[in-house]
Amino acid sequence: MNPWVLTFNDFDPKQIGLREALCTLGNGYFATRGALEESLADAYHYPGTYLAGGYNKLTTTVAGRTLINEDLVNLPNWLVVSFYPIDSQPNWLLSAKRLEHKLELNMYQGLLKRSSHIIDARGRETIITSRRIVHMANPHLAAIEYIIKPLNWSGEINLISSLDGSVTNQGVARYSQLNGKHLEVLNRIQINNDTLGLCVQTNQSHLQVALTARTQIFATYNCLAIPAKIQTTQETISQIFNFTISAGQPITIEKILTLYSSRDFAISECQIEAKTASQETGRFKNLLKTHRLAWKHVWQHCDINLTSKSPESTIVRLHTFHLLQTLSPHIIGLDVGAPARGLHGEAYRGHIFWDELFILPFLTHYLPAVSRSLLLYRYRRLNAARRLAKQAGYAGAMFPWQSASNGEEVSQRWHLNPRSNTWGPDYSFLQRHVNAAIAYNIWHYYQHTLDEEFLSGYGAEMLLEIARFWASLATFNTTIQRYEIKGVMGPDEYHECYPNANKPGLNNNAYTNVMAVWVIERALQTIKSLPSRRVIELKELLKLSDQELASWEPITQRMFIPFHAGIISQFQGYERLKEFAWQAYQTQYGNIERLDRILKNEKDSPDHYKIAKQADVVMLFYLLPTMELQRLFKQLGYTLTEKMIQHTIEYYLQRTSHGSTLSKVIFAKVLTPYKPELARELYLQALYSDLHDTQQGTTREGIHLGVMASTII
Ligand code: BGC
């Protein structure tokens, strides 16, 4: 077995969506799901193509509320290649029976192979094979080689090749009530007999995307100059080629795509560039050669060089592959962030969360320029973060929980519980800890690269503004003589407020408080380490006085951290919550990872219980070395022993449902010194979570980039 190849040997309609996500091909600039060429969006199939940073906002009225959704837009479907004997219907291929079906993802080459042996109602057997790439050397190209071999029949067929701009965002069932019609077709043209062009524009952000598709047909080595009939609808353009195929004689079709957008650099206008590029692409085999070479070079930099040929080594490659397809060197200099679900589907609408905390370490190690580029995505949104802080009554910069085009908060405020099919408020935007993640990444990047120019020019400003935000969020409680942070949510999204409280947010989430102190310390350390001329500039620029800086110091000495029974409490008052009947719920529901949905459906609330969706306090032990944490706690006037750390980890492990795939890999790391066997088991569960879709249906909506990245570093 080749550990670089992921193979699916059967055709199971229930697995189609999952395999489409897992077989997505991309190059950082854009990606296309591994949907079959003949498929259209339906209950099983979902061909999707996404441009990095390609967002659009729409408004929908649901249950009397106006909701705004900013989505990573599903772009025109360029995959469409299909055929049918002229005595049959256009859906002939989809309705034929599959005798054999195989998908093969070669991760070393970035190549998706498909082979189907089909038989129709009249006993006509055909073998269809295809090879597909999304070009890793030239990010504006993709290509399909599609071979039709009739086994026991000959006859006239119609072959269709289209660019379909009628697509909408409908890849996630629970968003189906939201408006998903993002595209307007500006034009669809025939460029020449081989080549079609389609240009679309998003209806709010006015992003233009131009595509061309050149389709050529070959018998052995000869290009058959078959004239195409052009068919258009309002939003699609197709070529129909009519010709005869003969039993045993394969016919090869090559479809080469060019894709440009109005956001590209070095262009006049995206349609011109797409058209010019379409004249220069050459044959599939040549594109494959340069594509393979580009992947070879990427792997030379980034492969972990596992010698084992175990199934796990293939998954490690799969995770690296999808990370590199989403955040390849092609993003360097582009204004794109790290989308939590890759460019592989529409879950979380392509938004950027704190998940970059788990994604950047790998990139910082192997491709530091990619990390730097992702940090600059945040830097460009520093003003938007200042605006958000100001609107919420704070100083400095408060980055949003969910970020997309312009850095405003794009978290949903109203959420559909798919279990109960009811809408309810969503307070996840109160996860201010995303700011600690951004600061952590800046610091980690600088420590790793010693990129002074970045720290001085961008990183320091972000660190200082985030520290300023934390300092303004912290209030001094004169009774306990300590600083507190109130009204936030920790990474555990199950707890949104105190039981029966009428306002959201919790007080003194331990993870948030400790990280706030850590960030303020790093900001103060940066001020001490930068050249004095730059410090003066930054102070002038940010109107940051010595007095203000001095006012941050006491926070690093007197921040409140809640404890109970010798362990760190997730938040203040946590100990008063009820214990949860884990066993009973497990028996009743089987999979109880999403306890929030189960409990809300029962008109109960996770707020009442000692339960967690994912690692929260435990994140501290994941991010900071024990000695560093012990120093911090000591400075705050608390004791933190190794035993307390172990007890805290075990305590929360027993109370965590792992409703986020991120959870298990974090527990795996922190448990390694204490319970290596259990740590290994959790790591393996995290490793298999997307391949086996352990969350039962979420991977088809997009891979989980955070967990993929954290399993490989
Ligand atoms: C997790 C968050 C994560 C988000 C995006 C949620 O389910 O709870 O921690 O940031 O998914 O991956």
Could you read off the pLDDT of 405-442 as tens digits, one per residue? 999 999 998 888 878 888 888 999 999 999 999 999 99
**Dmax (CA) of the chain:** 89
Please work out whether the CB of residue 359 comes within 6 Å of at least one atom of ligand 1.
no
Distance 407 CA to ligand 1 centre (A): 18
The pLDDT assigned to 483 comes to 98
The pLDDT assigned to 691 comes to 97
Please work out whether the CB of residue 116 comes within 6 Å of at least one atom of ligand 1.
no
Cβ neighbours of residue 309 under 8 Å, at least 6 residues apart?
Answer: 1, 3
- Looking at residue 200, what DSSP letter applies? E
Q: Token pair for residue 392?
A: 């919420």
Q: Which atom of ligand 1 is nearest to the CA of 493?
A: 8
Q: Token pair for residue 204?
A: 């709010």
Q: Which atom of ligand 1 is nearest to the CA of 704?
A: 12
The pLDDT assigned to 449 comes to 98
Please work out whether the CB of residue 340 comes within 6 Å of at least one atom of ligand 1.
yes
Q: Token pair for residue 29?
A: 């600039």
As a three-state string, the secondary structure of 470-507 is: HHHHEEEECCCCEEEECCECCCCCCCCECCCCCCCEEC
Would you say 51 and 75 are in contact if contact means Cβ atoms under 8 Å apart? yes
Task: Measure CA 553 to chain center.
Answer: 37
Q: Which atom of ligand 1 is nearest to the CA of 354?
A: 10
Please work out whether the CB of residue 401 comes within 6 Å of at least one atom of ligand 1.
no
Distance 441 CA to ligand 1 centre (A): 17
What's the rounded Cα separation, in Å, for the pair 110 and 299? Answer: 11
Distance 104 CA to ligand 1 centre (A): 30
Please work out whether the CB of residue 491 comes within 6 Å of at least one atom of ligand 1.
yes
> Residue 527: pLDDT above 90?
yes
Please work out whether the CB of residue 498 comes within 6 Å of at least one atom of ligand 1.
no
The full length of the chain comes to: 713
Please work out whether the CB of residue 354 comes within 6 Å of at least one atom of ligand 1.
yes
Which among 390, 428, 386, 433 has a CA at the least distance from the CA of 407? 386
Q: Which of 72, 349, 353 to mutate to test the pocket of ligand 1 (most atoms within 8 A of CB)?
A: 353
What's the rounded Cα separation, in Å, for the pair 491 and 573? Answer: 17
The pLDDT assigned to 704 comes to 98
Please work out whether the CB of residue 350 comes within 6 Å of at least one atom of ligand 1.
no
Residues 498-525, mean pLDDT to the nearest whole number: 97
Please work out whether the CB of residue 163 comes within 6 Å of at least one atom of ligand 1.
no
The pLDDT assigned to 423 comes to 85
Confidence of residue 309 (pLDDT cuts 50, 70, 90): confident
Confidence of residue 504 (pLDDT cuts 50, 70, 90): very high
Please work out whether the CB of residue 593 comes within 6 Å of at least one atom of ligand 1.
no
SS3 state of residue 690: coil
What's the rounded Cα separation, in Å, for the pair 503 and 417? Answer: 20
Report the chain's terminal Cα–Cα distance, integer Å. 25
C-beta neighbour count of 634 within 10 angstroms: 11
> Residue 529: pLDDT above 80?
yes
Please work out whether the CB of residue 355 comes within 6 Å of at least one atom of ligand 1.
yes
Q: Which of 660, 663, 665, 701 to mutate to test the pocket of ligand 1 (most atoms within 8 A of CB)?
A: 660
Helices and strands, counts by H and E, the chain: 23, 24
Strands 25-26 and 5-8: unpaired
Would you say 50 and 703 are in contact if contact means Cβ atoms under 8 Å apart? no
SS3 state of residue 435: helix
Class at the top of the CATH hierarchy for domain 5-274: mainly beta
Cβ neighbours of residue 310 under 8 Å, at least 6 residues apart?
Answer: 3
The pLDDT assigned to 229 comes to 96
Determine phi and psi for 148, rounding to 5 degrees: -110, 125
Q: Token pair for residue 575?
A: 């100990």
The pLDDT assigned to 308 comes to 84
Q: Which atom of ligand 1 is nearest to the CA of 340?
A: 12
Cβ neighbours of residue 410 under 8 Å, at least 6 residues apart?
Answer: 70, 349, 351, 400, 402, 403, 404
Could you read off the pLDDT of 444-497 as tens digits, one per residue? 999 999 999 999 999 999 999 999 999 999 999 999 999 999 999 999 999 999
Distance 649 CA to ligand 1 centre (A): 20
User: Given the structure tokens 């990139």, which residue do they identify?
Assistant: 363
Instruction: Give how far Cα 696 sits from Cα of 7, 340, 342, 646, 701, Å.
Output: 20, 18, 18, 31, 11
Would you say 349 and 72 are in contact if contact means Cβ atoms under 8 Å apart? yes
Residue 61 is which amino acid?
A: T
Residues 570-578, mean pLDDT to the nearest whole number: 97
Confidence of residue 565 (pLDDT cuts 50, 70, 90): very high
Distance 431 CA to ligand 1 centre (A): 11
User: Given the structure tokens 């998706």, which residue do they identify?
Assistant: 112
- Looking at residue 234, what DSSP letter applies? S
Q: Which atom of ligand 1 is nearest to the CA of 491?
A: 9
What's the rounded Cα separation, in Å, for the pair 261 and 274? Answer: 9
What's the rounded Cα separation, in Å, for the pair 61 and 314? Answer: 45
Residues 513-521, mean pLDDT to the nearest whole number: 98
Q: Which atom of ligand 1 is nearest to the CA of 351?
A: 5
What's the rounded Cα separation, in Å, for the pair 82 and 240? Answer: 10
The pLDDT assigned to 10 comes to 92
Confidence of residue 653 (pLDDT cuts 50, 70, 90): very high
What's the rounded Cα separation, in Å, for the pair 298 and 324? Answer: 8
The pLDDT assigned to 193 comes to 87
Q: Which atom of ligand 1 is nearest to the CA of 614?
A: 8
Would you say 77 and 151 are in contact if contact means Cβ atoms under 8 Å apart? no
Distance 660 CA to ligand 1 centre (A): 6
Q: Which atom of ligand 1 is nearest to the CA of 705?
A: 12
Residue nearest to atom 8 of ligand 1 (CA): 660
SS3 state of residue 564: strand
The pLDDT assigned to 418 comes to 79
What's the rounded Cα separation, in Å, for the pair 228 and 161? Answer: 10
Cβ neighbours of residue 84 under 8 Å, at least 6 residues apart?
Answer: 90, 91, 92, 93, 157, 158
Which among 627, 435, 419 has a CA at the least distance from the CA of 512? 435
Cβ neighbours of residue 584 under 8 Å, at least 6 residues apart?
Answer: none
SS3 state of residue 176: coil
Residue nearest to atom 9 of ligand 1 (CA): 491
Bridge partners (DSSP) listed for residue 185:
200
Please work out whether the CB of residue 139 comes within 6 Å of at least one atom of ligand 1.
no
Residue nearest to atom 1 of ligand 1 (CA): 660
SS3 state of residue 288: helix
Would you say 662 and 669 are in contact if contact means Cβ atoms under 8 Å apart? no
Task: Measure CA 509 to chain center.
Answer: 26
pTM as predicted: 0.97
Which among 287, 37, 22 has a CA at the least distance from the CA of 146? 37
Confidence of residue 115 (pLDDT cuts 50, 70, 90): very high
- String of DSSP letters for 598-622: HHHHTT--GGGBS-BSS-STTHHHH
Distance 432 CA to ligand 1 centre (A): 13
Would you say 250 and 179 are in contact if contact means Cβ atoms under 8 Å apart? no
Residue nearest to atom 7 of ligand 1 (CA): 660
Distance 80 CA to ligand 1 centre (A): 33
The pLDDT assigned to 696 comes to 86
Q: Which of 410, 662, 690, 694 to mutate to test the pocket of ligand 1 (most atoms within 8 A of CB)?
A: 662
- Looking at residue 455, what DSSP letter applies? I
User: Within 13 Å, how many C-alpha atoms sit on residue 703's CB side?
Assistant: 36
User: Given the structure tokens 């006037």, which residue do they identify?
Assistant: 637
Residue 375 is inside which H or E element, if any? helix 368-379
Could you read off the pLDDT of 577-627 as tens digits, one per residue? 999 999 999 999 998 888 988 998 899 999 999 999 999 999 999 999 999
The pLDDT assigned to 307 comes to 84
Domain ranges of the chain: 5-274, 311-710
Domain 311-710, CATH number (from 1.50.10.10, 2.60.120.10, 3.40.50.300, 3.40.50.1100): 1.50.10.10
What's the rounded Cα separation, in Å, for the pair 164 and 455? Answer: 45
Which among 203, 164, 206 has a CA at the least distance from the CA of 182? 203
Residues assigned a catalytic role? 493
Please work out whether the CB of residue 84 comes within 6 Å of at least one atom of ligand 1.
no
The pLDDT assigned to 5 comes to 97
Cβ neighbours of residue 124 under 8 Å, at least 6 residues apart?
Answer: 85, 150, 152, 153
SS3 state of residue 418: coil
Please work out whether the CB of residue 402 comes within 6 Å of at least one atom of ligand 1.
no
Confidence of residue 347 (pLDDT cuts 50, 70, 90): very high
Q: Which atom of ligand 1 is nearest to the CA of 341?
A: 12
Please work out whether the CB of residue 407 comes within 6 Å of at least one atom of ligand 1.
no
Q: Token pair for residue 626?
A: 């024990």
Residue 120 is inside which H or E element, if any? none
In our burial notation (b when 16+ CB lie closer than 10 A, e otherwise), range 325-352 reads bbbbbbbbebebbbbbbbbbbbbbbbbb
C-beta neighbour count of 176 within 10 angstroms: 11
Would you say 228 and 241 are in contact if contact means Cβ atoms under 8 Å apart? yes
What's the rounded Cα separation, in Å, for the pair 634 and 629? Answer: 8
Percentage of residues in the chain having pLDDT higher than 70: 100
Please work out whether the CB of residue 353 comes within 6 Å of at least one atom of ligand 1.
yes
Q: What mean pLDDT is reported for the chain?
A: 96
> Residue 221: pLDDT above 80?
no
